[in-house]
Structure 1
Amino acid sequence: MTQTRNVLVYGASGYTGKLVAESLAQRDIPFYMAGRTLSRLETALGVVEERHGKKVDAALVSVGHDFRELVDLIQRLEIKVLINNVGPFMQLAWPVVEACLEAGCHYLDTTGEQDWTAAIGEKYGAAFAAKGLLLCPANSFMWAAGAMAAEVVLETPGIDSLDICYQIDNGLPSEASTKSFLRMVCNDVSQYYLEQNQLKAWPNDVAHLVSLPYRNAILRAHPWGGACEPIWFKDDPRVRNCKVLTAIGEHMIDGVIAAIKAFNAAAPGMSQDEREEWTNRMGDQMDSGEPPKDSLDVQRGVIVVHGQGRQITTSYVMNLSAAYTWTGDICAEGAERLLNGQLKAVGFQSPAKAFGHRELIQRFHERGFCSALPA
Structure 2
Amino acid sequence: MTTERRVLVYGANGYTGKIVSESLANRGIPHYFAGRNREKLEAALSIVAERFGSPVDAEIAVASNNPDELRPLFAKVDVVINVAGPFMQMAWPVVETALECGCHYTDTTGEQDWSRAIAEQYGQAFADKGLLLAPATSYMWSAGALAAEIVLENKGVDSLDIIYQIDRGLPSEASTKSFLRMVCNDQLYLDLNEYAAWDWDTLVDVHVPYRGASIRAFPWGGACEPIWYKDDPRVLNCKVLTAMGEHLIDGVKMAIDKFHEEALSLSQEEREAWTNTVGDTMHQGEPPKDNVTAQRSCIIVGGQGQTTTVQYVMNLSAPYTWTGEVSAEAAKQLLAGKLLKPGFQSVATAFNHRELLQTFHELGFTSAPPAPGTL
TM > 0.5 between the two?
A: yes
Partner of 2:348: 352
Residue identity opposite 2:116 in structure 1? A
Residue identity opposite 1:79 in structure 2? V
Alignment of 1:276 with 2:257, yes or no, is no
Query: Which residues of 2 match residues 38-117 of structure 1 at below 5 A?
Result: 38-75=38-75, 78-117=76-115
Query: Which residues of 2 match residues 156-305 of structure 1 at below 5 A?
Result: 156-187=154-185, 190-305=186-301
* CA deviation profile, 1:207-258 (whole Å, cap 9, x unmatched): 1110111111110000000000001111101111100000111111111000
Structure 2 distance, partners of 1:32, 1:69, is 14
Per the alignment, in what secondary structure is the counterpart of residue 170 of structure 1?
Answer: coil
CA contact (8 A) 1:10 1:34 kept: yes
CA contact (8 A) 2:301 2:313 kept: yes
CA contact (8 A) 1:365 1:371 kept: yes
CA contact (8 A) 2:35 2:61 kept: yes
Instruction: Pick one of 312, 320, 324 that aligns with 1:324.
Output: 320
CA contact (8 A) 1:206 1:257 kept: no
1:114 CA drift (Å): 0.4
Per the alignment, in what secondary structure is the counterpart of residue 163 of structure 2?
Answer: strand
Structure 2 distance, partners of 1:199, 1:71, is 36
Query: Which residues of 2 match residues 15-54 of structure 1 at below 5 A?
Result: 15-54=15-54
1:64 CA drift (Å): 1.6
1:74 CA drift (Å): 1.1
CA contact (8 A) 2:9 2:31 kept: yes
Structure 2 distance, partners of 1:295, 1:147, is 22
Instruction: Pick one of 142, 145, 150 that aligns with 2:143.
Output: 145
Partner of 1:126: 124
Alignment of 1:309 with 2:305, yes or no, is yes
Q: Unaligned regions of 5+ residues in structure 2, if any?
A: none
**What root-mean-square deviation, in Å, do the aligned CA atoms of Structure 1 and Structure 2 show?**
0.8
1:322 CA drift (Å): 0.2
CA contact (8 A) 2:3 2:29 kept: no
Structure 2 distance, partners of 1:268, 1:3, is 51
Per the alignment, in what secondary structure is the counterpart of residue 311 of structure 1?
Answer: coil
1:362 CA drift (Å): 0.5
Residue identity opposite 1:87 in structure 2? G
Structure 1 distance, partners of 2:222, 2:83, is 20
Structure 1 distance, partners of 2:241, 2:67, is 35
CA contact (8 A) 1:125 1:347 kept: yes
Q: Which moved more, 1:80-89 or 1:260-269?
A: 260-269
Structure 2 distance, partners of 1:290, 1:204, is 29
* CA deviation profile, 1:110-169 (whole Å, cap 9, x unmatched): 000100000000100000011111101101111000000000000000000000000000
Partner of 2:366: 370
Runs of 4+ more than 3 Å apart: none
Residue identity opposite 1:111 in structure 2? T
Partner of 1:5: 5
Residue-pair matches, total: 371
Partner of 2:14: 14
1:298 CA drift (Å): 0.3
Residue identity opposite 1:289 in structure 2? G
1:39 CA drift (Å): 0.8
Structure 2 distance, partners of 1:297, 1:13, is 25
1:72 CA drift (Å): 2.3
User: Normalization by structure 2: what TM-score?
Assistant: 0.98
1:356 CA drift (Å): 1.7
Residue identity opposite 2:324 in structure 1? G
1:22 CA drift (Å): 0.2
1:355 CA drift (Å): 1.3
Structure 1 distance, partners of 2:296, 2:249, is 17
CA contact (8 A) 1:159 1:309 kept: yes
Per the alignment, in what secondary structure is the counterpart of residue 239 of structure 1?
Answer: coil
Per the alignment, in what secondary structure is the counterpart of residue 292 of structure 2?
Answer: coil
Structure 2 distance, partners of 1:15, 1:53, is 18
Residue identity opposite 2:82 in structure 1? N
Per the alignment, in what secondary structure is the counterpart of residue 317 of structure 2?
Answer: coil
Residue identity opposite 2:88 in structure 1? M
**Percentage of pairs with the same residue:** 63
Structure 1 distance, partners of 2:39, 2:114, is 30
Q: Unaligned regions of 5+ residues in structure 1, if any?
A: none
1:68 CA drift (Å): 2.0
Structure 2 distance, partners of 1:156, 1:278, is 44
Q: Which moved more, 1:62-71 or 1:229-238?
A: 62-71
1:69 CA drift (Å): 1.5
